[in-house]
Structure 1
């Protein structure tokens, strides 16, 4: 059994989500009026940071006191929880063509894709920014009811959308996806399976296989099905490793290892450009092959690194 050596990115949230207080209107209003409460700005699914160009990114959290000009109550917002004694709210500025002029007093800040910098942020900051991004992304896409088509209104401190027509409650959506490192021992050497997908932004990047869980399917069945569909391999001994929130846009990644006795690969050309077996030594020196491993904040990278460290 290969266990995670360190926590995955976006799993270090410091927040008490206070779900039992979300429907307490007086509590929420008091927190939103508290000058010391914190705001996590989101603009078009990007997070507010400073120091990005210098390679020293840090999250920029505003206080209610310093952000009065933004008109928090007029914009989409949601209570994320308490960080110690301070409330933390996500604040969506996406309606603005360019919100930066209104933030001129906060220094050299920019809205940046969190995935570009998450590996350089403290775990607590990365987790809070991911939480805000995921919730605001869902809010922006749940404006109308999927049952009757009427407009929805926020409730439960912005964590639920309720249809104004039929009353259906809509909760934040999280799509479960399995991600797995398949291994095969042939000729006395254990190898791991990595593939290059058509969806990858980097031409030279190879990563583990992954796919969404289908209705009525266990996680282990999803692992076996996805591997067989993508590379034609039957796996056994599916073992859980860890999980990771992945709000890009709205998934929870469930990491596994699996084994196969058949090294013959038949990649699905619609899904993959290439799939190969790599030894541990090859993965440790991946750039020497002219290739790149997945990003450091991904559970795919963690699966690979933990497998490398588990070598006898």
Structure 2
């Protein structure tokens, strides 16, 4: 058995068929197929069937004035999502996470993650970053072009993923978990994390973030696993970093506490034991995966 559990939001059964995305005839045939299915969303939140599976409907449910994106094929059947305008407020985030955690179908969170990130990206990139003109959906929903014949500059825009390092600082037989400054109550702790900056390697970003947030100096970085995080669209790069001291100096702009925990304390937290030293949120998050892997000896 692998020491590293499978991260959440991975393992979608989607066949993405990138080779056909520029093929308008293929897209039109997929739209007209009787087996085509539309992923039902409530804004950015997943709509679930009573058994916890994703809800798929007929393309007849789609607004004819809204563009469709061809997600790919599942069991040979075309799967679409509507690129509808959505409420982009931050308070929609919890509904997204709670809905994903309720999914029981294998691979469903990953399929939903792809759709959600795509819809979110289109909502945030309706205008060209180069010239400001309105862009047009292209490549079966996987790009937006700024068309010259519509007065644009000809730029082509594609969905992006923002890389984030998320890591456990390790000293001896303990790792460091922190509590966000906005989490003033309870015992919610997690791995430390931060966006990669331009010109940084993964190892450099891990070392920088741990020094900035906790004042610890990294001596070695090992990669464990990764996870797409669709809120809105990050790639979480999970690592464990050995550090030269357990003396912590908190960046209070980011964290209000950080504690060193051993494997037994991690296992108690992951199991949700009432007397655990700390509590974890969001079982689908890669922080769970990292802590479970470390507790397993990875």
Q: TM-score, normalised by structure 1?
A: 0.85
Per the TM alignment, residue 125 of structure 1 is displaced from its structure 2 partner at its CA by: 1.3
Counterpart for residue 108 of structure 1: none
Mapped contact 1:184–1:261 kept (Cα < 8 A): yes
- Distance, in Å, in 2 between the alignment partners of 1:199 and 1:152 is 37
- Distance, in Å, in 2 between the alignment partners of 1:93 and 1:162 is 18
**Structure 2 residue 145 is the aligned partner of structure 1 residue 162:** yes
- Distance, in Å, in 2 between the alignment partners of 1:202 and 1:183 is 25
Structure 1 residues 192 and 112, CA, compared in 2 at 3 Å: closer, same or farther? closer
Structure 1 residues 212 and 199, CA, compared in 2 at 3 Å: closer, same or farther? farther
Counterpart for residue 236 of structure 1: 219
Structure 1 residues 32 and 280, CA, compared in 2 at 3 Å: closer, same or farther? same
Identify the range of structure 1 (278-287 vs 23-32) with the bigger mean alpha-carbon deviation: 278-287
Q: 2:79 aligns with which of 67, 88, 102?
A: 88
Counterpart for residue 74 of structure 1: 65
- Distance, in Å, in 1 between the alignment partners of 2:297 and 2:276 is 22
- Distance, in Å, in 2 between the alignment partners of 1:118 and 1:69 is 22
RMSD of aligned Cα (Å): 2.1
Give the 5 Å matches for 1:118-129: 118-119=100-101, 120-129=103-112
**Structure 2 residue 47 is the aligned partner of structure 1 residue 48:** yes
Q: 2:258 aligns with which of 269, 275, 298?
A: 275
**Structure 2 residue 235 is the aligned partner of structure 1 residue 252:** yes
Structure 1 residues 69 and 284, CA, compared in 2 at 3 Å: closer, same or farther? closer
Q: Secondary structure at the match of 1:113?
A: helix
Mapped contact 1:235–1:259 kept (Cα < 8 A): yes
Cα shift readout 1:272-293 (whole Å, capped 9, x = no counterpart): 0101101112222234146312
Cα shift readout 1:100-140 (whole Å, capped 9, x = no counterpart): xxxxxxxxxxx983421434432321111111000000001
Cα shift readout 1:7-36 (whole Å, capped 9, x = no counterpart): 211111111111110111011011011121
Counterpart for residue 214 of structure 1: 197
Mapped contact 1:179–1:253 kept (Cα < 8 A): yes
Per the TM alignment, residue 95 of structure 1 is displaced from its structure 2 partner at its CA by: 5.8
Counterpart for residue 198 of structure 1: 181
How many aligned residue pairs are there? 283
Gaps of 5+ in 1: 97-110
Structure 1 residues 4 and 78, CA, compared in 2 at 3 Å: closer, same or farther? farther
Per the TM alignment, residue 201 of structure 1 is displaced from its structure 2 partner at its CA by: 9.0
Per the TM alignment, residue 310 of structure 1 is displaced from its structure 2 partner at its CA by: 1.3
Counterpart for residue 37 of structure 1: 36
- Distance, in Å, in 1 between the alignment partners of 2:94 and 2:190 is 24
Runs of 4 or more above 6 Å deviation:
none
- Distance, in Å, in 1 between the alignment partners of 2:94 and 2:25 is 34
Counterpart for residue 142 of structure 1: 125
Per the TM alignment, residue 200 of structure 1 is displaced from its structure 2 partner at its CA by: 4.8
Per the TM alignment, residue 207 of structure 1 is displaced from its structure 2 partner at its CA by: 0.2
Q: Secondary structure at the match of 1:59?
A: coil
Q: 2:95 aligns with which of 99, 113, 121?
A: 113
Q: TM-score, normalised by structure 2?
A: 0.89
Q: Secondary structure at the match of 2:130?
A: coil
Mapped contact 1:43–1:94 kept (Cα < 8 A): no
Mapped contact 2:83–2:122 kept (Cα < 8 A): no
Structure 1 residues 200 and 298, CA, compared in 2 at 3 Å: closer, same or farther? farther
- Distance, in Å, in 1 between the alignment partners of 2:104 and 2:97 is 10
Gaps of 5+ in 2: 88-92
Q: Secondary structure at the match of 1:9?
A: coil
